[in-house]
Amino acid sequence: MSIELDRQRIVVTGGAGFLGRVVCERLRARGCREILVPRRCDFDLTREDAVDRLYREMRPDIVLHLAAEVGGIGANRENPGRYFYANMAMAMHLIEHARRHGLRRFVQVGTICAYPKFTPVPFREDELWNGYPEETNAPYGIAKKAALVMLDAYHRQYGLAGAYLLPVNLYGPGDNFDLRSSHVIPALVRKCVDALEAGADHIDCWGTGAASREFLYVDDAAEGIIRAAEVMEEPIPINLGTGMEISIRDLVTLIAELTGFRGQVRWDATQPDGQPRRCLDTARARDLLGWSAQIGFEDGLRRTIDWWRTVGRPQAMTSASS
């Protein structure tokens, strides 16, 4: 049954983050006026008492659970225990108290890291359980996949309506550009822009460049999440992606070209590549959500680079000097 979101009280966990801000903007554009964003300083979602208080105080009709603790390969490798615990605890408490408080719909944003390491390309949702995830991402990916199991179980036993989405790697303006924890696109954009500004003759990149990835512009991901909140009752896993695959080596070449960096790229093959390939089958999203990505990859990269140069980097420089 389709829901008119402008009549609902909607809690967006992670609503102050990269993806969450865009989701909230698009909800407002749909006429939603009761959009509630729990802040970590007020609600530690890894604690059951805080989650119970969130439901009692905010009284949501719908929860869009976007909050996560995650980073790039390095951050995942350094924090496997924390990432498993935090993501598992948040989902477990939020779904259980959704049941207790009679929530109308729960939307869980999962992760492409939940797929097996050697999933056949393009990734189809039916392959989700046919193997173990890539090792550096496994604790995070399995915690997120466990939320799918819980949502499915709660739908069958308690009738909790839900949706479960598997967005591919996101990018866009407002992303995390901290080199210690960022994902590949913002890290490469920052490296190229910084090298260009400093007059450096090279940048360093992890791995061999042979792995492939698929990337989804943040606005497209936000639209897919909102469509799921409108129309999904059963938590069937749904990929959100573009179906376009690019090797990391070709990605570096493209970002260097778009930023104007002409120096050498030095690959450190002692560092991991991560999952060998990622590219999604998005037929289910078209069929169930009526959704497909709208922003072309080069267009999205240009917007991201422009944002970093005009907004993100000046802010980072000001913060560093203050």
**HSE-up (13 A, CA, CB side) for residue 39:** 2
Contact criterion met (CB below 8 Å) for 286 and 223: no
Cα distances (Å, whole numbers) of residue 141 to 116, 182, 267, 298: 9, 17, 27, 28
Contact criterion met (CB below 8 Å) for 169 and 185: yes
Q: Which residues are catalytic?
A: 140
Q: What is the 3-state secondary structure (H, E, C) of 1-43?
A: CCCCHHHCCEEEECCCCHHHHHHHHHHHHCCCCCEECCCCCCC
Beta-bridged to residue 206, according to DSSP, are 268
How far apart are alpha carbons 319 and 316 in whole angstroms? Answer: 5
Beta-bridged to residue 162, according to DSSP, are 106
Backbone φ and ψ of 132, nearest 5°: -95, 140
